[in-house]
Amino acid sequence: DVVLTPDDVANVLRTFDNDKAHGPDGIPAHLLTETASQIAPSLCQLFNKSLRIGVVPSDWKLANVVPAHKKGDQEFVEHYRPISLLPLVSKVLERCVFNTIKDHIFCRINPCQHGFLPGKNCVTQLIEVFDKIGKQLDRGKQIDVIYFDMSKAFDKVSHKRLLLRLREFGFGGNILNWFRSYLQDRRQQTTILGATSLPSQVISGVSQGSILGPVLFLLCENDLPSSVKNSSIATYADDTKIFKEIHNIGDAASLQEDLSNFESSSSDMGLHLNTSKCKALRVTGKHRKIKYPYTLQDSMLENVENERDLCVWISNNLTWRKQVLEQCSKANKMLGFIKRSTRTIKNCLTNVPFLISVSDWYLYIKASSPRQPNDTARLISPSTTQAKSCLLFFYHMYGNHIGKLRVYVKSGGKMDSLWSLSGDQGNGWFHERVAVNNQTASYQFVIEGVRGNGWRGDIAIDDISVMDSCLPRDKFSCDFEDPNSCEWTQDKSDDFDWTRNQASTPTQRSGPTTDHTKGLESVIFCLPRYHALPSLQ
């Protein structure tokens, strides 16, 4: 039996990813992480009761399914992978169970499996396999590789067979009953473009997006490699290949036997192979190759010169030409986009012809607890005595509870308002320029963020600079990449400070997902005189 402690639950809550999308219950991740200490004891009691009586609440078994495009024509539904967005509280329970049982399971997983296991990944599998194949190729041998493609493997797992596998792995009593309840009576509803379908029953498969789903899939297919007797096998989740050194037709026939045995065992488990996507690759430097017509379900496999193996192109002579050309093609497409995007930009400064985005930091005000409505955070520039100057910056104001962003000029202890903006401005970075004219004394710019009436009110700023009379010779510039190089300072008389951050803010549906500069994805553009910077993406 699995028994959890409040510390077990609290540790999972504290390390929960705030960027995780919520499920049908609408409970956001940051609410769970920020209240971890308070809710852990109650959740622990609830989780232990679920594990003790072997029942998973039905509300925790409803998932929002979001289609994620894999490859190919986006018009065809079969080119999408269903990702399940489950209630986050249920994922906390799944993580607690996973942490308890993982050591018991991982030590029993077939060593040829590299998916979802600590210390193993795509790279370890590729290195292990092609180190062997490369050595054989160096000795002048021929190696035939068969690539298998399982059709919707995660969705075809039989719940009945999976429960039998759990029993074989030593699970029984309350925890086996809990897994039975976890698998049965699951429902899903498709969510796309703001619309949600009616729920439908899930009669097979493990959820892609759940915590326990990948481990349960490994259990289900763990015996498949034992069907391969004459060849070597390597797997990464449902991506499987078998390979063998070929000296004569007899060796090729042995590989064909393993191919047929694997297909038979896979079908018995309800995991069917997609014949049209299974391929044969003949790796050799010989002129006189041993050619064998490998077949699957009475269909001859296509023999290819290159095959995409775990996102890496493998050729029949183990050169990297195809992989290099693929990456060069992607780079050329990006360069072409940059060229087309900058073709109409005129009057570039000769001394600043290009800007290349390299920063990935920004500042934001965190609107969640303990902040209160109308709390302020101010950022103050160094002093200047220029009669005219221009403040340039990018801002991000996205969320239902956005407050205000203001710019002041501070001189002699007095602050005069120069610019103000309030409310949700959309999920994007926007450029603003604020001018100061005819100043006779030393002054500073002040950027003030005002907290709105709720926690979805993160306001961010990035790439700020002060220019002389709006000329592109900037000073007091700061992109927040280096925390020690920025001359702007936090105001000590306000309510709280601006926070330096990377990637998304902790609050869902509020704040940016990346800084302004990094968001340009290394776009190069000219700097036009007297105009705002173009926002090219």
pLDDT score at 463: 86
CATH class as words, domain 121-158+204-318: alpha beta
Tokens of 394: 């990018």
Q: In percent, how much of the chain has pLDDT > 90? A: 57
Look-up: residue for tokens 């500069």?
Answer: 517
Q: Are 90 and 187 in contact (CB under 8 A)?
A: no
- Dump pLDDT digits (tens) for 281-340: 999 998 899 999 999 998 999 999 999 999 999 999 999 899 999 999 988 888 887 777
Single-letter residue type at 94? E
pTM: 0.65
H or E segment and range at residue 397: strand 389-397
Tokens of 493: 């008389």
Amino acid found at 534: P
CB 486 within 8 A of CB 438: no
What was the pLDDT predicted at 516? 65
- What are 346's two structure tokens? 């005129």
For residue 363, the cross-strand partners are 461, 500
Transcribe 86-107 into DSSP letters: --HHHHHHHHHHHHHHHHHHHT
Mean pLDDT of 61-69: 89
Q: Measure the CA–CA gap between 398 and 429, rounded to whole angstroms.
A: 9
- 74-88 confidence digits (pLDDT tens): 788 878 888 889 999
Residue 293: burial class (beta carbons within 10 Å; 0-12, 13-18, 19+): exposed
Whether the pLDDT of residue 420 is over 50: the answer is yes
In the predicted model, is pLDDT for residue 373 greater than 80? yes
- Asked if the model's pLDDT at residue 531 lies above 50, the reply is no
For the chain, the structural domain boundaries read 121-158+204-318, 320-360, 363-467, 487-536
Burial degree of 38 (CB within 10 A; 0-12, 13-18, 19+): exposed
* CA-based nearest residue to 390, from 402, 399, 381: 381
Q: Are 43 and 35 in contact (CB under 8 A)?
A: no
- The CATH code for residues 363-467 is 2.60.120.200
* Structure confidence by residue, pLDDT tens digits, 167-210: 999 999 999 999 999 999 999 999 887 788 999 999 999 987 89
Strands 279-283 and 302-304: parallel
